A and B are shown apart, each in its own frame.
Chain A
Amino acid sequence: DVKVTQSSRYLVKRTGEKVFLECVQDMDHENMFWYRQDPGLGLRLIYFSYDVKMKEKGDIPEGYSVSREKKERFSLILESASTNQTSMYLCASAGQGETQYFGPGTRLLVL
């Protein structure tokens, strides 16, 4: 069965802290994605990766960076967390041109 896991379900951080969100998939998918989800805005793509060490900016990359050192793992980094980054963060993986499989999400609160 397909599985995408995210390191935390809930996270509380302070303004200015560096935050790491980890995502792991067990499907050998090439493509991995990070979205943030806010009420009324749907899912907005932050970054995606189509191969190890490859990354592309999505629609809202400002304030974020990513790392993909291994095929199964895709990390989202908030270099200096701000209150406007309080949100639900969803990771997904997909084979080429296929369905995206989502993790359960991380709800991040920045105080």
Chain B
Amino acid sequence: AQSVTQPDIHITVSEGASLELRCNYSYGATPYLFWYVQSPGQGLQLLLKYFSGDTLVQGIKGFEAEFKRSQSSFNLRKPSVHWSDAAEYFCAVLNTGGFKTIFGAGTRLFVKA
């Protein structure tokens, strides 16, 4: 069965430090891959997505993610975190041609001054 694992329930980083959020998926083929962000009390907003092509994808708010087929990973990165990045981040996969998107359990990011 398809699954998405975000091994870190929460992460704390200092403002200005770099960030990497981990995501691993289990699926037979290369699915579509997404990262979403959810600010407190809000719905989810798309940060970036990977469908095919260049394995390093750029998203909004200075985020990027790299697809590594050999590791079944799609980690999210940002070189310098801002206090406004404090939120919950969800990795998700969608099997090509399908309807159902599978979400990870989320990683909550705390940013300290």
Contact = CB atoms under 8 A, between A and B. Distances in A.
Contact of B97 (A97, A101, A105): A97
A42 B101 contact: no
Contacts of B94: 97
Interface residues of A, number: 25
Interface stretch (B11-19, B62-70, B102-110): B102-110
A88 B36 CA distance: 17
Contact of A42 (B96, B97, B104): B104
Contacts of A94: 101
A43 B4 CA distance: 11
A19 B79 CA distance: 45
A35 B94 CA distance: 15
B99 A90 contact: no
Interface residues of B, number: 23
A103 B43 contact: yes
B46 interface: yes
Interface of A: 4, 31, 33, 35, 40-43, 45, 48, 50, 56, 58, 90, 92, 94, 97, 99-105, 107
24 contacts: A4-B43, A33-B101, A35-B103, A42-B104, A42-B105, A43-B103, A45-B100, A48-B100, A56-B99, A58-B100, A90-B43, A90-B44, A92-B44, A94-B101, A97-B32, A99-B46, A99-B49, A101-B46, A102-B43, A102-B45, A104-B43, A105-B41, A105-B42, A105-B43
Given A43-B103, A58-B100, A97-B98, 8 more contacts: A4-B43, A33-B101, A40-B105, A43-B90, A48-B100, A90-B43, A99-B34, A107-B41
